[in-house]
Every structure is written in C-alpha cells, then in structure tokens.
Amino acid sequence: MAISDINPAGFVRGPASDEIFEALPPSPRELMRRRARSHGGLIFGGGFVLLVVALAILTPWIAPYDPYNQDLSARLIDPIWGAKGSWAHLLGTDALGRDFLSRLMYGARVSLTISACASLISAIVGATLGIVGGYFGGRIDGFVSYLINVKLSLPPLLVSLSLVSVVGGSVTALIFIIGFLTWDRYAVVTRSVSMQLRNQEFIAAAQAVGASHTRILLTELLPNVMNQIIVIASLEMAVVILIESVLSFLGLGVQPPTPSWGLLVAEGRSFMFFKPYLIVIPGLTIFLMVIAINLAGDGLRDVLSPEGRN
Amino acid sequence: MNQIIELPGRAERAATDASVLLDCRNLSRTFIVGGSLFSKAKELRAVDRVNVSVRRGEVLAIVGESGSGKTTLGRMMLGILPPTSGEMLLDGKPVSGIDRKTLARRIQPIFQDPYSSLNPRKTVAQIIGLPLAVHGIEAGAARDRRVEEIMERVGLSRRLIHSYPNQLSGGQRQRVAIARALVVQPEIVVCDEPTSALDVSVQAQILNLLVDLRNEFNLTYIFISHDLGVVEYIADQLAVMYMGQVVEAGPRHEVLEQRRHPYTQALLGSVLTPDPSLGLPDLQIGRGFPDIMHPPSGCHFHPRCPSAMPVCSAVEPPAFRDSAGLVHCHLFSGEGSSATRPIAQ
C-alpha cells in the first residue's frame, strides 16, 4: 500500500490550541513552599537551628556577662533550678566564676562559625570535584574517583587529630582542616547526579549553542545539583559540630579561654561528679543542635528533592 | 502518490536556489566500547562513511530504525560530536575550520524529548535567552523583547515567559525548544525526531509550525525521523540509513515511489495502518537486528535481505547513482539491471 494512505488526517493547518485561559500548574517553588509548610520535622528542626543562630549572632548585645570575666567569689554557683541558684546567673557559673550562660552563648558563636565555614569549604571543594568529574567523565572522572577513594580511606577524626597536633588548634586551622576532611559526600553525590544530567538533552542543546564548559557547569548543571548540596550541607553540619566538639574536648581544638561547646564539656570534666550541670548543659546543647540540624536536613531533602524518598 | 500534500513554494525554491549548503563527505564516527584491564576495547561504527548533502531551503529527511546512526549523524552535524574521519562542508568551507560559536549560530538543534531538552530549573525566558546570552546578543529589556517576539512567532503565550518547563504541556515545551533554536536565526535546523515524543494531535501542530517557520525564515532542515508519514509530509530529500550507512538516498518522491533498496522496501512496508483488519505488515526480513559490534560482512543487510545473493555476503555493494538518487545494493551494481528491476509493491 502507498504510505500516503496513512498520512495522518490530523495534519491540518490551524491556530495552535489556545491555552490562554487555562490555569498554570504550580511552579517548582510553589510546590516546595507547600511541602515545607506541612513538614513538622523541618519546622521544628529548622526553627530550633534558626533560634540558636539568631541568639549566637545577637550574643554581644544580649549576653548577661563578659564570658572571660572571672569572679572567684562566685565560683560554681548552681543554675537557677539548683538548691543555691540565683537569678543573677541563670545557668550558674563555672570553676573560675564565669557566667555559664554567657560562655555557652559565646561558645555557640565559635562552634557555629567553625562548622558553617568548614561546611562551606567542604561543599565548594566536594561539589566542584564531583560536578567536574561527572560532567567530563573519562580521565578527569578517573582522577576525581581516585581522590574520593583516597579521602574515604582517611578516618576524619584521626587525621584531624594528628594535623591539629602539628599545626596547633586555632579557629582558622580547625575550619580548614575540618573543611578539607569532609568533602567526600558532596563529591560522591554531585558526581553521580552530574553523570545522569550530562546525557540530558538540555546539556547537548547548550553545547550546540556554543556555550563554554564553564557556562554549562555553572548555569546548567549547578542549579540542578544545588538542592542536593544544600541537603548534604545541612546533614554534614551536624557531623562538623561533633568533630569540632571532640577536638576541643581533647584539647586539640579551640584553645581556652575561648569558649566553644566542646571546650565547655572538657572544662567541666573535673567537676563532673559534684557539679554535673557543667557538662550536662553544653552536652545537651550539642545533642539538641545535632538533632535539630538532622531534622532540618531530612526536611530539606523531603522538600527540595522529593524524588529521592522511599 | 498524488495525495502527497505539496508544500507551498517547494518547486520554485528548488528551481531557484540549488546551492549545496551542508555537505557531509565520508563522515564516520567510531565509539570505543568497553575495554578494561582484562578485556580489549571494541569499536562500534555508529556512522560509517556517510555522504549526504542538503541544498539551501530544502528538507533532508534521514530515516532508519533505532540504532542506525541517525542521531549520531545529527550530533556530528551540530558540532557537538567530532567525526572520527571524513569532513563536513558548510557553504563549501570545511566545518573544522569554523569557530564553534560561529557554527552554532548557523546550525541549531531541536531534540526529540522536550522533557529532557529543557533545563528544569530555568524559566522559559532563561531557556530561550541562553543562546542570546552565549553569543552576547542584546541585553536586558532588549533581550526580553527578542525572546517575546520569538515566543509569539512559535505560538507561545507571552504570559508563559516566567514559567518553568514542568508547568508546560509537551507541545508547549517543544515550542520552547523551537524558539530556543530559532532565536539566533540559524540557517540549518537539525530536528532529531522532533515530534515522536508528542501526542498525535500535537504532532500535527508542531509539524505545521516547522513548515511555516521554514517558509518564513528560509530554513534548511535536517529532519531525523522514523515516522515515515511525517517524513513524507515534510521532506524534499530522503536518506535511508541502515547500520550506520546510507543505503539509499534521493529526492523524496523517487525514493518513496521506487523503493529500490530491499531495506527501503521493508522499512516502508512496515508502516502500521489505522485499519486493524489488515493485521501487522509482513516484512520478510526477520526480526533480528544484527549485532552492531560485529556487523555482517559484505552488505550489512544481507542476513535479513529477501533478495540476497552469494555476492552480497562477500562484497560491499558499490554506490549506484542515477537521476533518481543513490543506492548501495548489488541488485543495482553492474549491467544496468536497475532499469529492469521490478518494483515490489
């Protein structure tokens, strides 16, 4: 039979279907907003994190005392709920008579600064390696995979311990050491996502337009992996806070008298049996912060990339 | 065959403007597959010494089954995949000597799947504006105006300008892809199965749009497709590909009418009809597509060919060329047997 017989009858010339009055489906941002509003974990976790961050930022104006100001006549005062608690020191004082609430608030500044900066560094390092490796493939990807494997074989705590003991425990050193030891998860995830995206036709379209690799990486690929990066960053932040606390607790992190949450626990250690609040309060703070960040991170994942659930 | 809808202006254009715009000469592309410490890498000849050319203002359709190398050929024409050997001439000048951006302004793609060809994180304005941004054409409000103009031209409502691809229908998405291709005013558009991912009713709209745009902007299309109904509607020239090689090529009318290569006969005979009582077409070529890693010797089509002769499995068929086009088949090599060959209907 001649194929003209089966020429579809639909090939008629006419105006494109007029969809002007049809309502648009919601935009991706609107969908995210809807998912976020009904997500309890995100609201609770995110709320707690935002509260702590806000307090940490406002600390210089709202902290009741100077965190370095010693008052040996007011040593080891119980918190407000204790037998000898007073309103003058809500969370009591430490062994040198410094107001514990103020130390905790200033400690939040130090701990959060370190974890935020370290997470930023690791996100930049990891995402750059992952996107470049996944997009270019071949030998470049082989090199990136090699770096990831090397990194995965390094135990972060052990390496940071030895590095800190060599270069000393300043805040800057901590930020860089932790940052360069936690980028692997970013690299693994962004690499696999980029490998999938590389074969999508919108990448080929950008190449056919003559766009440079840099432009494709930054404006085509990066926006598509940004959600994953944010989610990993929120989860890694909790890990980084823990590493910082552990290092400071072991005396290899932030050096006294600068307060940090891990250091507060370390300082309270010698009084642990008769003044337990000295380690319970900072310990509980670290615990709550890590839980809240994890809740918020899980929530962010559900909101930003719901495809990955179940 | 007289039911074929004649496109407006086809005859005049063919008569007045017959210069070859894009000429592919012996174009090949080999992929290296596998290869590790313990296994040797193998070569996959996706496109094998292909000669096709298209004249300005014409539509060259490339047809063939899946895996025949159509898309690879299209990607080489776009310059996003370098050929392993052979060369392409654009207006008589080798493409390899043309700067990538200059080439990009002259040849633009429309891809098959409008769901993966648009970046899901970008608005319509950003997607259509990308070529303008890459080439530094206009900026700010002027660029937006240009985007709006082309949107209007491809039948997209202006209020969609800030929406994301997931808010659009398949037809609207394909219109965005068309607008992105045309916004830099290319001469050649490589359409890689632009309608096969769409509903039939939308297919017709998109095809008509492509035809209208071609007349308006004097575009040249390379139209890659496996939908013969579509090809019959839009093509001027036709090239039939099988396992990376062009087995038959020529003016659409001649190829569809004469069907000289047995593969062309099988391909055209495989078109499904809307009448279920006719059943499935009987192809007589078997179902197995040969292993592309180990192409058959001689003529690649001989294991499936109903008219295979001993010579077919030994010798690669030479090109036979006459006024009705080009055919690679032993039925037409030597002794002028082509003139007497009956046309299978």
Domains and CATH numbers, chain B: 10-250 (3.40.50.300), 259-340 (no CATH)
Q: How many CB atoms lie within 10 A of CB A108?
A: 22
CA dist B268 and A133 (Å) reads 44
Q: Is A307 on the interface with B (CB under 8 A)?
A: no
* Residue range B156-160: mean pLDDT, rounded: 87
Q: Token match 């085509």: residue?
A: A220
Q: What is the mean pLDDT of residues B97-106?
A: 86
List CB contacts (< 8 A) between B104 and chain A. Answer: 208-210
In this prediction, residue B10 has a pLDDT band, given cuts at 50, 70 and 90, of very low
DSSP class of residue A86? B
Could you tell me if A310 lies within 8 Å of chain B, comparing CB atoms? Answer: no
Query: Which pLDDT value is given to residue A308?
Result: 46
Residue B13 has pLDDT above 60, yes or no: no
Q: What would the two tokens of residue B83 be?
A: 């050929």
Show residues of chain A in contact with B155, CB under 8 Å: 15-16
pLDDT on residue A137? 86
% chain B with pLDDT above 70: 86
pLDDT score of A2 more than 50: no
**B203–A10 C-beta distance less than 8 A:** yes
Q: In sequence order, what are the beta bridge partners of B44?
A: B31
The alpha carbon of residue B291 is apart from the nearest alpha carbon of chain A, in Å, by 24
Chain-wide mean pLDDT for chain B? 81
**Largest pairwise CA distance in chain A:** 107
A25 touches chain B (CB under 8 A): yes
Percent of chain A topping pLDDT 90? 25
Task: Please indicate whether residue B164 or residue A191 has the higher confidence score (pLDDT).
Answer: A191
Choice among A61-65, B98-102, B284-288 with the minimum mean pLDDT? B284-288
What pLDDT is stored for residue B286 in this prediction? 64
pLDDT at B287: 59
Contact A245, A283 (CB under 8 A): no
Which carries the bigger pLDDT value, residue B340 or residue B193? B193
Among B105, B134, B274, the residue with its CB nearest the CB of A215 is B134
Nearest to B219 by CA among B10, B25, B57: B57
* pLDDT: which is higher, A53 or B33: A53
Please name the member of A4, A13, A19 whose beta carbon is closest to the beta carbon of B157: A19
What band does A4 get if pLDDT is binned at 50, 70 and 90?
very low
Of A3, A6, A17, the CB nearest to B274: A6
| Cα distances (angstroms) measured from residue B248 to each of A171, A306, B61, B245 | 72, 49, 12, 9
Token reading at A116? 């935020």
Contact residues for B136 (Cβ-Cβ < 8 A; gap 6+): none
Mean pLDDT over residues B151-158, rounded?
89
Which residue of B lies nearest to A3 if distances are taken between CA atoms?
Answer: B229
**Rounded CA gap, A51 and A179, in Å?**
25
In sequence order, the 6+-apart residues with CB closer than 8 A to the CB of A273 are none
Asked if B79 lies within 8 A of A208 by C-beta distance, the reply is yes
**Which pLDDT band holds residue A75 (cuts at 50, 70, 90)?**
confident
- Outline where DSSP puts E strands in chain A: none
CA distance A19 to B156: 9
Q: Is the pLDDT of residue B336 over 50?
A: no
Report chain A residues whose CB lies below 8 A from the CB of B228: 3
Average pLDDT, integer, range A262-277: 84
Question: Across residues A13-40, what is the average pLDDT?
Answer: 66
CB A6 within 8 A of CB B201: no
- pLDDT of res. B282: 65
Shortest CB distance from A202 goes to which of B80, B119, B172?
B119
Q: How far apart are CA A127 and CA A185, in angstroms?
A: 9
Separation CA A50–CA A296 (nearest Å):
10
Instruction: Please tell me the distance from the alpha carbon of residue B148 to that of residue B153, in angstroms, as a whole number.
Output: 9
pLDDT at B337 exceeding the cut of 60: no
Rounded distance, CA B112 to CA B225, Å?
Answer: 9
Question: What would the 3-class secondary structure string for chain B be?
Answer: CCCCCCCCCHHHHHHHCCCEEEEEEEEEEEEEECCCCCCCCEEEEEEEEEEEEEECCCEEEEECCCCCCHHHHHHHHHCCCCCCEEEEEECCEEHHHCCHHHHHHHEEEECCCCCCCCCCCCCHHHHHHHHHHHCCCCCHHHHHHHHHHHHHHCCCCHHHHHCCHHHCCHHHHHHHHHHHHHCCCCCEEEEECCCCCCCHHHHHHHHHHHHHHHHHHCCEEEEEECCHHHHHHHCCEEEEEECCEEEEEEEHHHHHHHCCCHHHHHHHHCCCCCCHHHCCCCCCCCCCCCCCCCCCCCCCCHHHCCCCCHHHHCCCCCEEEECCEEEECHHHCCCCHHHHCCCCC
Q: Is the dihedral of CA A169, A175, A180, A182 positive or negative?
A: positive
Cα gap A298→A45, rounded to integer Å: 9
Q: Report d(CA B41, CA B47) in Å as an integer.
A: 18
Residue B280 has pLDDT above 90, yes or no: no
B155 contact A CB<8A: yes
Min Cα–Cα distance to chain A from B109, Å: 7
Which has the higher per-residue pLDDT, A308 or A101? A101
Question: Which tens digits make up the pLDDT trace of A196-228?
Answer: 998 888 999 998 888 889 999 998 999 889 888
**pLDDT of A45 above 80:** yes
Residue B137 CA to residue A17 CA, distance in Å, equals 31
Q: What CA–CA distance (Å, rounded) separates A125 from A119?
A: 10
What per-residue confidence (pLDDT) applies to A49? Answer: 92
C-beta of residue B248 within 8 angstroms of C-beta of residue B318 = no
> What pLDDT band is residue B127 in, cutting at 50, 70 and 90?
very high
Q: In this complex, is the C-beta atom of A211 within 8 Å of any C-beta atom belonging to chain B?
A: yes
DSSP state of A56: H
Q: List, for residues A105-150, the tens digit of each pLDDT value.
A: 998 998 899 989 999 999 999 999 999 999 998 899 999 999 999 9
CB-CB contact of B260 with B327 (8 Å): yes
* Residues of A with Cβ-Cβ distance to B117 under 8 angstroms: 200-202, 204-205
Convert the pLDDT of each residue in B167-180 to its tens digit.
888 889 999 999 99
Q: Which residue of B has its CA nearest to A25?
A: B167
Please, are residues B144 and B125 in contact by the beta-carbon 8 Å criterion? yes
Please give the pLDDT value at position B1: 39
pLDDT tens by residue, B15-69: 444 588 888 888 888 888 776 667 777 788 888 888 888 888 899 999 988 878 8
Global pTM exceeds 0.80? no
The two most distant CA atoms of chain B are separated, in Å, by 68
pLDDT in the model for residue B285: 65
Distance CA B98, CA A281 (A): 69
Is the pLDDT confidence value at B338 over 80? no
Instruction: Please answer whether residues B105 and B38 qualify as being in contact, where contact means their C-beta atoms are separated by less than 8 angstroms.
Output: no
* Whole-number pLDDT of residue A18: 45
Whether the CB-CB separation of A86 and A99 falls below 8 Å is answered with no
User: Is the per-residue pLDDT at B288 higher than 80?
Assistant: no
Residue A12, pLDDT above cutoff 90: no
What is the pLDDT averaged over residues B261-265? 85
What's the CA gap between B273 and B285, in Å, rounded? 19
How does residue B315 score in pLDDT terms, banded at 50, 70 and 90? Answer: confident
pLDDT at A153 (0 to 100): 92
Q: Where are the domains of chain A?
A: 105-310
Query: What is the mean pLDDT of the segment spanning A79-100?
Result: 78
Ranges A157-171, B8-22, B106-120, B253-267, most confident: B106-120
Cα(A80)–Cα(B167) distance, integer angstroms: 57
Q: Is the pLDDT of residue A256 over 50?
A: yes
- Looking at the DSSP assignment, which residues form a beta bridge with residue B24? B52, B88
In this predicted model, which residue has the larger pLDDT, B73 or B14? B73
Query: Looking at chain B, which residue has its C-alpha nearest residue A220?
Result: B119
Comparing CA positions, the residue from B152, B200, B157 lying closest to residue B179 is B152
Q: Say which CATH topology domain A105-310 has.
A: MetI-like fold (1.10.3720)
Identify the CA nearest to A94 among candidates A260, A255, A252, A264. A264
| Cis, peptide link before residue B281, omega less than 30° from 0 | no
Question: Which residue out of A12, A21, A197, A201 would a mutagenesis test of the B interface target, given it has the greatest number of B Cβ atoms within 10 Å?
Answer: A201
